[in-house]
Chain A
Amino acid sequence: MSTATEHVGHDAEHAHGEHHHGAPAGIKRWLFTTNHKDIGTLYLWFAFIMFLVGGAMAMVIRAELFQPGLQIVEPNFFNQMTTVHGLIMVFGAVMPAFTGLANWLIPMMIGAPDMALPRMNNWSFWILPFAFLILLSSLFVEGGGPAFGWTFYAPLSTTYSGDSTALFVFSVHIMGISSIMGAINVIVTIFNMRAPGMTWMKMPLFVWTWLITAFLLIAVMPVLAGAVTMVLTDKFFGTHFFDAAGGGDPVMFQHIFWFFGHPEVYIMILPAFGIISQIIPTFARKRLFGYASMVYATASIALLSFIVWAHHMFTTGMPLAAEMFFMFATMLISVPTGVKVFNWVATMWRGSMTFEVPMLFALAFIVLFTIGGLSGLMLAITPVDFQYHDTYFVVAHFHYVLVTGAVFSIMAAVYYWLPKWTGRMFDITLAKWHFWCSLISVNVLFFPMHFVGLAGMPRRIPDYALQFADFNKWISIGGFAFGLSQLIFLALLIKACRHQGEKVSDQVWEGAEGLEWEIPSPAPYHTFDTPPVIK
């Protein structure tokens, strides 16, 4: 078997020998590319554009909430903004950004020449823009886009929704297909294309966390597809999955949705754990503490993620036994998550640290993600969750883990690997401005949300009681500042893509270890045609 593979590989090399001179020029390079680096770049730019689009919607939300009363938008449009903001940030920004990083990095980290299924790779990217065109165009049809929250609870999303629900369903289907194909590619690549000597327990943690994430994706994206299909048939074809009058159950929708939704949460954070585990050792100049326990902790979190979903549903009137089970299971998640945080701190302990921009983002991640994790532990306690549920305390919690968690980790990753991709150091002054402006504004934005939530402000409301006015003003100011700070990032990225900046060495960062730091900077269009041997 192994000889056969080598033979095919040899032939293919001959047949496509001309590609090895470099990338083809023009638009066709991007449309027809099967190169993991090109596709990685496409994913990352797509994610960043979606981040700005979703961010613009957040600005609309914050502008409306700047003061009490209705000023800027109607409640129905406000609901469309919260819904589409959530969908775009989850499916359009965070997930594609991680897939982009996976495309760029996994082959380079395991010594493979490319992803295992390059044509499928092309397709899994190129259907995404269509998914989001469909979703965004739904905002312009009569009655407007989806207005039922990104969680699209039935029957609000079925009997009581607009006709654009069909567009929403189809766009989610396409996103799901794209994610599943991306996940299959990651799994097949990691299983089959590791360089000789790259044993399981030698794989970089980013590869490990993505492998586990890919299994989560394959397990739960079909569940989401099932949920949206049932919404579609309930709304348009007379089924009653979620309608009690026809023998269905609206709470069953929530069970199905969150059986997807909770693993989805870890899909958006496990690769972040991988990134941080790559960056901290580099700038602490010390090996990652507890590599094996990191792998086991990641796997434990993934397994636990399948048995905690109903903690999103404590107020739905579940039986007491179920409430207790989901409370205990949810609390358990803090054990492996804690292990990770402790390991990162122990990696830094007695290291020799410097604080380059990727490290700044990684350190901010550890502190702010932990704050989000601790508020998550508070939310796990069922009797208190009755008070927190569906208030701004929840909004604060998941933005700490998703923005200062997932998004900060993506920014850390971009700053960490960007010099490897372009061969030049990014503009460090701009990067530091980006970091400090983001760090301060993101806390002005999300920290007071804890307070208004505890004081009783429900989420997803376009107008609020006067007692919440002062904090909401601060939250909005923080929001605008955080939004503007991302334009610094945009400027920096444009400069980097124009190949401005000082040339960097192959290793880029003193203390960086791994296969991707042994190839030239910028990384050539094709790497590891002959697999490296790992000692």
Chain B
Amino acid sequence: MKSLIYSSIATVGLLSAGAAFAQTGTKSDPYQLNLTNGVTDISNQVYGLHMLMFTICVVIAVLVFGVMFVSMYLHRKSRGAKPANFHESVKVEIAWTVVPFVILILMAIPATKTLIAMEDTTEPDMSVLVTGSQWKWHYKYMDNDVEYFSLLATPREQIGNRYSKGENYLLEVDRPLVIPTGQKVRFLITSDDVIHSWWVPDFAVKKDANPGFINEAWTMVNEPGVYRGQCTELCGKDHGFMPVVVIAKEPAEYEAWITARETEQRKAKEEEQRLLAMSMSMEELMSEGERVYNAACAACHMPNGEGLPGVFPALKGSSMALNDIPGHIDIVLNGKAGTAMQAFAKQLTLSEIAAVVTYERNAWGNNTGEMVQAKDVNAIATGQ
């Protein structure tokens, strides 16, 4: 039975090894063992609590298992041990009820303090509305005229193992959220469809995005940098593919960024109106449509337009994609209530929607030959 004892010692050894290595582990270290310290005062407090709890648990484990292993060694029949007769002791039993209770109170005090601080979302310097939807995040700056979607930037070819994987595989987006350092940023978190959860480990912020309700969280980042996280509530097929990336910039840099972004968005809207008068050729529509389709539609309707039977409908050969042009434009613009089909009016420009509808009506053997232009989409969008 020596082997049992050795393996048991090894188990305790593993635990204490965990404690020893607890301080190691930097970002994207393949052998990171421990929670990140993070870059906010709160995340530091959380890390401290985590280490406190971990240490207490290791001490308890070593004590309990220690007594057990000593007993397993000393009080073996093969060593000639004769069983004792005791089977209760009120004093001992009261002691090992009361002592853990006191330890619990000692744990609860710092935990409660940190919790109260984390939930204090009052007096923010700025607010961002974070909206989850299958499978992307939308950020809207409440104090500026800036809003945009943030999608996974990792190419499908990397996920399918056709290209080699990049350094930030699955943790990279096309348009990260940008926030200033040293300011209290409040996040208003909600969802357009199922429940998602917005998590940035370095901020110790994780909050569910519930459809129809708005949750609050906040952070104040100390160091500029790029911070990566993921959706942490199962939200359907591509739950593993909706990362969160936040860039924290110095306030001056941030101000410059948000101003430039505001101008850019205003110009884009003007440009969109100007383009209404222009028509695109079939070739232009199809190539632009294919790009938009693969970015926005292929996750559900699949790159071959066949959907997932019983889950996501096929577009190839569907009566809407072959016949009903206004219905087709309308469903892309406004989505379909009560289904996973979301509204793309905010996500795509009028000409992008025109292109993707044209693409869907002419790809995979849907050869209708029909073209949809931005002005047709605008007509439906404005109810003309």
User: Is B197 an interface position by the 8 A CB rule?
Assistant: yes
User: Is A196 an interface position by the 8 A CB rule?
Assistant: no
Closest beta carbon of chain B to A316's beta carbon, Å: 5
**Which among A352, A355, A387, A451 has the greatest number of chain B C-beta atoms within 10 A?**
A387
Inter-chain contact B61/A290, CB cutoff 8 Å: no
Choose among A70, A334, A345, A355 the residue that contacts B104 (Cβ–Cβ < 8 A): A334
Across-interface contacts of B118 in A (CB, < 8 A): 383, 386
Q: A162-B311, A383-B118 are in contact. Are A250 and B212 (CB under 8 A)?
A: yes
Inter-chain contact A144/B29, CB cutoff 8 Å: no
9-residue interface stretch from A152-160, A184-192, A422-430: A152-160
User: Is B77 an interface position by the 8 A CB rule?
Assistant: yes
Residue ID in chain A nearest B231 by CB atoms: A458
Q: A71-B161, A345-B71, A353-B72 are in contact. Are A320 and B104 (CB under 8 A)?
A: no
Residue ID in chain A nearest B229 by CB atoms: A456
Across-interface contacts of B111 in A (CB, < 8 A): 327, 381-384
Across-interface contacts of B158 in A (CB, < 8 A): 69
Count how many chain A residues have C-beta atoms less than 8 Å from C-beta atoms of the other chain: 108
User: Is B100 an interface position by the 8 A CB rule?
Assistant: yes
Choose among A68, A334, A348, A391 the residue that contacts B68 (Cβ–Cβ < 8 A): A348
**A251 and B191 alpha carbons, distance in the complex (Å):** 13
Q: A142-B310, A377-B57 are in contact. Are A70 and B161 (CB under 8 A)?
A: yes
User: Is B92 an interface position by the 8 A CB rule?
Assistant: yes
11 A-B residue pairs with CB within 8 Å: A148-B234, A317-B210, A332-B104, A345-B67, A352-B75, A378-B57, A381-B53, A384-B46, A390-B233, A461-B240, A471-B30
**A380 and B119 alpha carbons, distance in the complex (Å):** 17
Instruction: Give 8 closest A-B pairs by Cβ, nearest first.
Output: A143-B310, A244-B212, A461-B240, A142-B310, A317-B215, A350-B84, A374-B57, A455-B32
Across-interface contacts of A328 in B (CB, < 8 A): 108
Inter-chain contact B210/A79, CB cutoff 8 Å: no
Residue ID in chain A nearest B99 by CB atoms: A338
Q: Mark A366-387, 1 if CB is under 8 A from B, else 0.
A: 1110110011011001111011
Q: A159-B339, A335-B97, A339-B96 are in contact. Are A75 and B240 (CB under 8 A)?
A: yes
**A285 and B82 alpha carbons, distance in the complex (Å):** 9
For chain A residues 508-528, which have a beta carbon within 8 Å of chain B?
A: none
Choose among B36, B107, B161, B230 the residue that contacts A69 (Cβ–Cβ < 8 A): B161
User: Is A503 an interface position by the 8 A CB rule?
Assistant: no
**A374 and B308 alpha carbons, distance in the complex (Å):** 43
Residue ID in chain B nearest A289 by CB atoms: B87
Q: Mark A244-259, 1 if CB is under 8 A from B, else 0.
A: 1100011100000000
User: Is A470 an interface position by the 8 A CB rule?
Assistant: yes
User: Is B364 an interface position by the 8 A CB rule?
Assistant: no
Residue ID in chain B nearest A467 by CB atoms: B28
For chain A residues 83-138, which have a beta carbon within 8 Å of chain B?
A: none
For chain A residues 381-414, which have a beta carbon within 8 Å of chain B?
A: 381-384, 386-387, 389-391
Q: Majority SS of interface residues in chain B?
A: mixed
User: Is A447 an interface position by the 8 A CB rule?
Assistant: yes
Inter-chain contact B232/A352, CB cutoff 8 Å: no
Residue ID in chain A nearest B76 by CB atoms: A353
**A369 and B383 alpha carbons, distance in the complex (Å):** 63
Tier of interface size on chain B: 35 or more
For chain A residues 325-353, which have a beta carbon within 8 Å of chain B?
A: 327-328, 331-332, 334-335, 338-339, 341-342, 345-353
For chain B residues 62-80, which have a beta carbon within 8 Å of chain A?
A: 64-65, 67-68, 71-72, 75-78
Closest beta carbon of chain B to A110's beta carbon, Å: 21
Closest beta carbon of chain B to A298's beta carbon, Å: 14
User: Is B257 an interface position by the 8 A CB rule?
Assistant: no
For chain B residues 19-70, which have a beta carbon within 8 Å of chain A?
A: 25, 28-36, 45-46, 49-50, 53-54, 57, 60-61, 64-65, 67-68
Residue ID in chain B nearest A393 by CB atoms: B35
Residue ID in chain B nearest A374 by CB atoms: B57
Residue ID in chain B nearest A149 by CB atoms: B234
Inter-chain contact A244/B169, CB cutoff 8 Å: no
User: Is A169 an interface position by the 8 A CB rule?
Assistant: no
Across-interface contacts of A471 in B (CB, < 8 A): 30-31
Add 9 more A-B contacts to A315-B197, A349-B71, A381-B53 (CB < 8 A).
Answer: A155-B195, A244-B212, A317-B216, A335-B104, A339-B97, A384-B50, A466-B167, A466-B169, A471-B30
Q: Majority SS of interface residues in chain A?
A: helix
For chain B residues 318-370, which have a beta carbon within 8 Å of chain A?
A: 338-340
Across-interface contacts of A387 in B (CB, < 8 A): 35, 46, 50, 201, 204, 206
**A355 and B81 alpha carbons, distance in the complex (Å):** 14
Choose among A287, A338, A467 the residue that contacts B32 (Cβ–Cβ < 8 A): A467
9-residue interface stretch from B6-14, B248-256, B371-379: B6-14
User: Is A288 an interface position by the 8 A CB rule?
Assistant: yes
**A290 and B235 alpha carbons, distance in the complex (Å):** 47
Inter-chain contact B75/A349, CB cutoff 8 Å: yes
**A460 and B238 alpha carbons, distance in the complex (Å):** 10
Closest beta carbon of chain A to B237's beta carbon, Å: 5
Across-interface contacts of B115 in A (CB, < 8 A): 320, 323-324, 327, 382-383
**Which among A149, A245, A348 has the greatest number of chain B C-beta atoms within 10 A?**
A348
User: Is B304 an interface position by the 8 A CB rule?
Assistant: no
**A153 and B114 alpha carbons, distance in the complex (Å):** 29
**Which among A141, A251, A341, A466 has the greatest number of chain B C-beta atoms within 10 A?**
A466
Inter-chain contact A455/B25, CB cutoff 8 Å: yes
**A327 and B112 alpha carbons, distance in the complex (Å):** 9
**A507 and B7 alpha carbons, distance in the complex (Å):** 31
Q: A69-B158, A387-B204 are in contact. Are A354 and B64 (CB under 8 A)?
A: no
Choose among B241, B308, B339 the residue that contacts A143 (Cβ–Cβ < 8 A): B308
**A7 and B171 alpha carbons, distance in the complex (Å):** 75
**A381 and B105 alpha carbons, distance in the complex (Å):** 12
Across-interface contacts of B36 in A (CB, < 8 A): 455-456
For chain A residues 164-214, which have a beta carbon within 8 Å of chain B?
A: 164
Q: Mark A268-310, 1 if CB is under 8 A from B, else 0.
A: 0000000000000000111111111100000000000000000
**A289 and B84 alpha carbons, distance in the complex (Å):** 11
Residue ID in chain B nearest A157 by CB atoms: B194
User: Is B283 an interface position by the 8 A CB rule?
Assistant: no
Choose among B4, B83, B92 the residue that contacts A350 (Cβ–Cβ < 8 A): B83
Across-interface contacts of B82 in A (CB, < 8 A): 352
Q: Mark B100-131, 1 if CB is under 8 A from A, else 0.
A: 11001001100110111011000000000000
Inter-chain contact B29/A467, CB cutoff 8 Å: yes
